[in-house]
Amino acid sequence: MARDTVQPGTDARGERWAGQDAWLAEVAADASRAAGGVPVELLGDYLSLLADAATTGRKPLALELDAVELLGRRAAELGVSAGNAVQLYLSAAWRLWRELPTVVRSKDSEVVRNAAEAVLRAVDRAVASLAEGYTAARRDMMRHEETTRHELIEDLLRGDADIGGLAERAEPFGMDMGQPHQVALAAPTGRLTDTQGATGSLERAAVQWLGDRDILVTTKEGWIVVIAPADTTRRTGAGLPSGMKNLGTLMNAELSRSPRGRPWRIAVGRPYPGAYGIAHSYEEARETLTMAIRLQLDTTVIHANELLIYRVLLRDQPAIADLVHTVVSPLANARGGAEPMLNTLDAYFATGCVVTETARRLHLSVRAVSYRLERIATLTGYDPTDPAQRFTVHAAVLGARLLGWPEQDVIGGSE
């Protein structure tokens, strides 16, 4: 028995086939319920296609398969899972076969075999088209979400976008802009070839630790940037390893597993509320990371409040440049240049002005360290071992590191 092409109706509840095709509507409704309530509209003319394949043996037309592909896209846009979408089609197929008119269920095995083969062939091609459309839509959606996410992060870090617009754009990513957030930066000291892998693993770990989606991870200027809620201590779970009580230590624990990039320097800005607070925290983290690199700090995780004194020094850059020029610029005349002398002073002040500990840290003899300290006093006119002059020398050394001297001639204009 040949079947005419079934004309679809408009009722989204499944009554797309009227009159003699009411049984197709029942099959569609049953398949929808079996697939967890997936909308019947996602079947389109699929059941008519299968019915025609069973009764006439015809293959699906390219136009029909294109329509199924569009339905796959629609399923992705509606948020239907790929598994449920495929289940809808497979469930509809076997239910239709069970409910086919008795003339198809002929006693002639050849007739039944041909009908079954035609239906399976149609199911195979239709499901493949459905999956292709679904995958393409998900890929487009992910690209769009990634673009939107990147633009949001850029605007948050700049802090010059419309506040209301930022709050609305951040909402789909689970961010409550009314709550304080902080920004942390991670800079690899080694060569990091797989930046995407490092950021991906860090984001997964951070979401697991913090327990929600209120976190954004990206890369900027070769650094990994993390925007997270400020109350990470409250959100961390009891099962975390000892010491993981803030964003910096969480990042360090995860990034340390990366085979490349180690050791890392991580700078954490202070928390601030609102969209502009994120930009403020980001600038603090940037300044902190830059200062930590220039000061050659050994500490892996540095918080902005720990380097406030250095920010104070940099606020009056002409004054600090003048101090560097006046106090330590004569060290450029030392044998080997200023750098060995600055390294000696760095270690000397870092060890509490203990010569023996300074010698151990620099792998020098105590005599060599004492000679260098004497030579510094001779060249500069300031004795670092004299408590009355020690602070001046220390401030000048810190200023030199912060300004990048002697690598950068930042004090030439002060002469």
320 and 305 fall within a common domain: no
347 and 391 fall within a common domain: yes
Question: How many other C-beta atoms lie within 10 A of the C-beta of residue 366?
Answer: 13
31 and 131 fall within a common domain: yes
With respect to residue 170, please indicate whether it lies within any of the assigned structural domains.
no
pTM: 0.60
Q: Which has the closest alpha carbon to 211: 192, 189, 239, 183?
A: 239
Dist. CA 276–CA 66, nearest whole Å: 48
pLDDT at 198: 75
pLDDT at 385: 94
pLDDT at 3: 38
Look at the block and give the residue holding tokens 């050849």.
110
190 and 265 fall within a common domain: yes
242 and 338 fall within a common domain: no
With respect to residue 238, please indicate whether it lies within any of the assigned structural domains.
yes
Residues 6+ apart with CB under 8 A from 348: 355, 358, 369, 373, 384
pLDDT at 37: 92
**Contact yes or no for 68/133 (Cβ under 8 A):** yes
297 and 367 fall within a common domain: no
pLDDT at 40: 93
Q: Omega of the bond prior to 172 within 30 degrees of 0, cis?
A: no
Q: Which residues of the chain have pLDDT under 70?
A: 1-21, 101-108, 161, 190-196, 209-213, 231-245, 258-262, 410-415
pLDDT at 243: 43
With respect to residue 132, please indicate whether it lies within any of the assigned structural domains.
yes
Q: If you average pLDDT over every residue of the chain, what do you get?
A: 82
Q: Each residue of 58-69: pLDDT tens digit?
A: 899 999 999 999
**Contact yes or no for 240/209 (Cβ under 8 A):** yes
- CATH number of residue 224's parent domain: 3.30.70.2730
The amino acid at 38: V
How would you label 15-33 residue by residue, b for 16+ Cβ within 10 Å and e otherwise?
Answer: bbbeeebeebbebbbbbbe
219 and 291 fall within a common domain: yes
Q: Which of 278, 310, 342 is the last residue of a domain?
A: 310
44 and 75 fall within a common domain: yes
Dist. CA 203–CA 153, nearest whole Å: 14
248 and 363 fall within a common domain: no
Q: Which of 259, 292, 310 is the last residue of a domain?
A: 310
297 and 358 fall within a common domain: no
- CATH number of residue 384's parent domain: 1.10.10.2840
With respect to residue 213, please indicate whether it lies within any of the assigned structural domains.
yes
Look at the block and give the residue holding tokens 């499901």.
127
Secondary structure, 3-state, the chain: CCCCCCCCCCCCCCCCCCHHHHHHHHHHHHHHHHCCCCCHHHHCCHHHHHHHHHHHCCCCCHHHHHHHHHHHHHHHHCCCCHHHHHHHHHHHHHHHHHHCCCCCCCCCHHHHHHHHHHHHHHHHHHHHHHHHHHHHHHHHHHHHHHHHHHHHHHHHHHCCCCHHHHHHHHHHHCCCCCCCEEEEEEEECCCCCCHHHHHHHHHHHHHHHHCCCCCEEEEECCEEEEEEECCHHHHCCCCCCCCCCCHHHHHHHHHCCCCCCCCEEEEECCCECHHHHHHHHHHHHHHHHHHHHHCCCCCCEEEHHHHHHHHHHHHCHHHHHHHHHHHCHHHHHCCCCHHHHHHHHHHHHHCCCCHHHHHHHHCCCHHHHHHHHHHHHHHHCCCCCCHHHHHHHHHHHHHHHHHCCCCCCCCHHHC
Provide the number of structural domains found in the chain. Answer: 3
With respect to residue 322, please indicate whether it lies within any of the assigned structural domains.
yes
Q: Each residue of 353-405: pLDDT tens digit?
A: 999 999 999 999 999 999 999 999 999 999 999 999 999 999 999 888 888 88
* 17-22: long-range pairs with CB below 8 Å, 24+: 17/47, 17/48, 21/48
Residue-number span of the structural domain to which 220 is assigned = 178-310
pLDDT at 283: 93
With respect to residue 40, please indicate whether it lies within any of the assigned structural domains.
yes
Q: Which of 264, 292, 310 is the last residue of a domain?
A: 310
With respect to residue 147, please indicate whether it lies within any of the assigned structural domains.
no
pLDDT at 99: 77
